[in-house]
Structure 1
């Protein structure tokens, strides 16, 4: 049974004004002080930023001082994964409160912010090299790691899941606001992420050797600072024996992050079986996938998406239904079918984070209230309809 782990990035905010606060160092120090006997997390950061391990997983720095990132252990049980996600959110909330901050699962800051880069050699070098792209990188994603048996299997999976990744973005979209304005997108994090030179969808690789050769060429170009900057929508992890699916926004609710994780694991299991049987990858060009990702970022689940195989516009509910149909045998084998059916129905009915953020703004007229609502929902409180 494949394990699955989740990394979530969170904003640190002033609970009253909604402004992002550059207090990550204080929050992580508090988290470490509250976990004096940490266990060793299997997901350790090899890029130099270094984790703060906790009994429930880890909390670490991201590039901006206004963020922290959590990471779970690998799990086979989605119930245990959800318990750890909620516990990590609680730990972050408690540590942030000691620094006078709240924790918000928002993929961009609704209010204007001038990001302060963490004073670590890697991040400082990136700020010098990539300028405004790095200095404005206050983006919060949900990265799902699913175990694979080999590098060959990992790349076989990447070639076959790529057409379905825009639907995960649409489902998770949680960033309609940027620098104080409504962007017109459900996920503005996605187009901002594409500023980075390696971000976005990929062509079919065909083999692990071809994948590794491409990454080696990218690093040899010296355009990328290191292997951690291979920001493909999905990649063979350079640290763990996993496929890392990186396309989703951080979800406002932990329950929705578990839904995304369940779909990711089922996609990997389905793709691995297709690869093992010699079934060819869908021959969709990366340029078309970029269109599909843009459409998903723009519309979320409240409009039309592109059909994963034909690239023709269809209702978002139809694409998500096709995704579930595609992975249903894997969901059934893992015992996840009921959870996915129930939670997807719930998300389609009440909306994702983007829909909720806009609903709060319509009701209150205040982006500070949008952030305050997100703080409550991130902590598992105030989850009723706005």
Structure 2
């Protein structure tokens, strides 16, 4: 790959007054105390630039960046000044009189007017050596498609003139007004490039080659390629990460040019659109994958870029460092998101500036406290929760951990929230975020704007309880399809197991050590701050993971400034964790094809088809229907135009009976053949057929006893008190208290058949009593739990609506044992007005759920 090219960085900084935290046009006072070529003025007198020397290693680059930042601070601090590395600084006064001295700057002010007055923005430019200008032009064209990812990593300018812009990089929006800003021109040689520059100068658009402001360009004064698209980065590690990635991109592009590989064909307008999306979203929203084009999560985009550059990073000795820096950056989020979290603590922009000052010098911010925020008068006018509300006290005060959120919502007001709701629907239409109820046409997935918060302490408690429950249910399934020890011990009656609607003969054919529950969806509710119940177990084909992931994307896309101070556990890693759990069930991990997994769906007719396609895309696995499969004696094959390939595992997302009735690629019934393949171990069918014996509403009442029997532990999470109507004594109690209980069919799902006694009419109560007497084994009753409520935006105001929480646990095989991991992709479901039934098929909706770090 030749000699390792050197890299250098130019960084621009805002000079701020340490007392007011406003941009200060005092660069001359700084430069008078700084000598050499490492420091220079910029267009505005509130900006200063540093230049590192050429560096061979990323470690050297980091040290020089830190040294120059430290020198700036050492000189600035005695003058009552500080320096901020960020695309914009929140507090700035625009003036036409604060331009640096010099004929070039004065001419620019005359020619470009407001563009110059608003040039209070800072970027970070990275230079990488190239052998000649012809190669530089080739590299520019070949690297351009990857620049939106680098912009997203650098995004650090959400605030402009005291307002949240809704962008992660508003600097990009200000910068894009220059006539030569944006993706590079479609030239292929140095002569073409120089001719283009001469034409621009002749047109009077620019006055010199240094005013070609493309996102990437051959340097106007150095033998380098220059990256110009990035915001200035508060965190030095982000500068180093971008420099490492850019050098690897330049090296790969140089090799491609020497090999005669064709130039990329991405359309100019699509490149601009991808840059816009990165500026809008940063690392908190989807980015544009130019292959497609399609939207893709930042974690996947960054991961693919790093993986694709591995050979060039390793050759430079940068692989391990860049990989670790990329993971750290994704974990902490963009600098724009961190600024919004700093603002959310007290709603003060001075806190944002303080955080930027400290981060620029690599120090931790201290000393900011979180006060209780008063309720926003408009949105919470008339808000009167009748039960425990998770965000608002009985007296109408916003609870402390929701204070930052309601400060943001208050600034929006009802009109702003209504506009955001409309934008949300537009985003859903664009992404096809729909579901179906019965034979009705697809409808938009009902998503509320106001996220629900789960504290880190609550999540730790819930995770432990859910993992315990899933372990016990797995052992129960293995037992009831095997030795039936729990039945022989008299803990669970034989009639409960044998009469379970979900019991299946197929479940008994699977290998004794098969992982039955790979994905569990457990529904929880709470009736007070410190008391959660398990409402229901879902072990067959639980849905909602994908809707949880897309809900985060959608809400952040329309309310980007809704950032909690503590940060939220990210969801980008959830599909990878799910794929890993699926593949862990494959016994021989080293065998050829052991990593071949597919998501098995009924296809577009399935109500959760959107979720199926989203999860398959994020896991990077195919989504298939039974018609795509062929079963032979030695395995299960995916059949397509390109031939066929053997599958090691199928993530089952269609109902068991639908699978048994399905037709395969050869137009013959395939369901039982698939189940026989699972029994023989030639494919892993996950979740396993027959899981329904463990998740109906009658078996539910015995789960606490299962935990004690199999694990020898006390249950960490309570059940809702449940009364099996098959028991004569319980049945008599249920019939006597029917008006105050919730009655459910044992084999019901989606909220169908539920009777809520206090809300029922006399006729409905009489019908329920008759149904129980006629078939008592088909019914259970539960005490009515007063579900907690949460503010939900509807009709231009916030209203308390009952909520539950569907949490997802992944079970993996680890050697001869299993491990349960609770994913942070929980889905809060919202009941419609006047109801306690949250299912979307009954008019319910959903919320983005924030698990706090």
**In structure 2, what is the equivalent of residue 48 of structure 1?**
none
SS at match of 2:152: helix
Preserved CA contact (<8 Å) 1:30 1:98: no
Give 1:364 deviation, angstroms. 2.3
1:3 and 1:243 mapped to 2: Cα distance? 11
Name 2:343's counterpart in structure 1.
Answer: 361
Residues in 1 aligned to 2:359 and 2:307: alpha-carbon distance in whole angstroms: 30
Q: Distance in 1 between matches of 2:109 and 2:293?
A: 37
State the alpha-carbon separation in 2 of the partners of residues 118 and 234 from structure 1: 25
Q: Deviations over 1:62-97 (max 9, x none)?
A: 001101000101111111111000000011111111
User: Does the alignment pair 1:22 with 2:19?
Assistant: no
Structure-1 residue corresponding to 2:314 = 332
Aligned partners of 1:16, 1:326: CA distance in 2, in Å? Answer: 47
Which residue, out of 120, 123, 136, partners 1:141?
123
Equivalences for 1:1-386 in 2 at 5 Å? Answer: 1-32=4-35, 52-53=36-37, 58-115=38-95, 116-382=98-364
Consecutive unaligned residues in structure 1, runs of 5 or more: 33-51
C-alpha distance in 2, partners of 1:241/1:301?
32
Contact 1:23 1:99 in 2 (8 A): no
Mapped partners of 1:309, 1:163: distance in 2? 10
Q: C-alpha distance in 2, partners of 1:265/1:308?
A: 21
Moved more, 212-221 or 108-117: 108-117
Question: What secondary structure sits across from 1:370 in the alignment?
Answer: helix
Query: What SS class does the counterpart of residue 31 from structure 1 fall into?
Result: coil
Contact 1:139 1:189 in 2 (8 A): yes
Q: Secondary structure at the match of 1:123?
A: helix
Q: 2:33 is paired with a residue of what secondary structure? A: helix
Deviation at 1:310, TM superposition (A): 2.6
- Report the alpha carbon displacement of residue 21 of structure 1 after superposing the two structures with TM: 0.5
Cα displacement (A) at 1:9: 0.3
Q: Give the C-alpha shift of residue 326 in structure 1.
A: 2.4
Runs of 4+ that moved beyond 3 A: 383-386
Offset, 1:322: 1.8
Question: Is this contact kept in 1: 2:19–2:80, CA < 8 A?
Answer: no
Q: CA deviation at 1:372?
A: 1.1
- Structure 2 counterpart SS, 1:30: coil
CA contact (8 A) 2:153 2:334 kept: yes
2-side partners of 1:374 and 1:364: how far apart? 16
Deviation at 1:266, TM superposition (A): 0.5
Q: Retained in 2: the 8 A contact 1:154–1:242?
A: yes
User: Residue 260 and residue 383 in structure 1: after superposition, are their counterparts in 2 closer, same or farther (change >3 A)?
Assistant: farther
Tell me the TM-score normalized by structure 2: 0.42
For the 8 Å contact 1:16–1:368, the answer to whether it is kept is no
- Higher share of residues assigned strand: 2
1:383 deviates by: 6.0
Distance 1:203 1:229 in 2: 14
Residue 121 of structure 1 deviates from its aligned partner by 1.2
Are 2:284 and 2:334, in contact at CA under 8 Å, matched by a contact in 1?
no
> Following TM superposition, by how much is the alpha carbon of 1:278 offset from its aligned partner in structure 2, in angstroms?
0.6
1:43 paired residue number: none
Aligned residue for 1:235, secondary structure, equals strand
Is contact 1:163-1:309 (8 Å) kept? Answer: no
Which structure has the greater CA radius of gyration? 2
Determine helix, strand or coil for the equivalent of 1:248: strand
What's the CA shift string for 1:30-55, capped at 9, x where partnerless? 123xxxxxxxxxxxxxxxxxxx43xx
Aligned to 2:766: none
Q: Contact between 1:187 and 1:300, CA under 8 Å: does it hold in 2? A: yes
Contact 2:76–2:82 under 8 Å retained in 1: yes
Instruction: State how far apart, in whole Å, the 1-side matches of 2:200 and 2:310 are.
Output: 36
Provide the rounded CA distance (Å) in 2 between the counterparts of 1:203 and 1:126.
23
How far, CA to CA, are the matches of 2:209 and 2:113 in structure 1?
19
Alignment check: 8 A CA contact 2:143 2:253 kept: yes
Following the alignment from structure 1 to structure 2, what is the Cα–Cα distance between the partners of residues 206 and 181? 42
TM-aligned CA deviation for residue 311 of structure 1: 2.5
- RMSD of aligned alpha carbons: 1.3
What is the distance in 1 between the residues matched to 2:65 and 2:92?
28
Q: Using the alignment, how far apart are the partners of 1:255 and 1:168 within structure 2? A: 13
TM-score, with length taken from structure 1: 0.92
Distance 1:262 1:308 in 2: 22
**For each residue in 1:229-257, what CA deviation from the matched residue of structure 2 results, as whole angstroms up to 9, or x when unmatched?**
10000000110000001011011111110
Contact 1:234/1:245 (8 A) holds in 2? yes
- Cα distance in 2 for partners of 1:16, 1:256 equals 28
Residue 611 of structure 2 aligns with which residue? none
**How much has 1:382 moved relative to structure 2?**
1.2
Contact 1:16 1:372 in 2 (8 A): no
CA deviations over 1:142-197 (Å, ceiling 9, x no partner): 00000000111101101100000011000110000001000000000001101111
Deviation, 1:216, is 1.3
Give the Cα–Cα distance (whole angstroms) in 2 for the partners of residues 112 and 86 of structure 1: 25
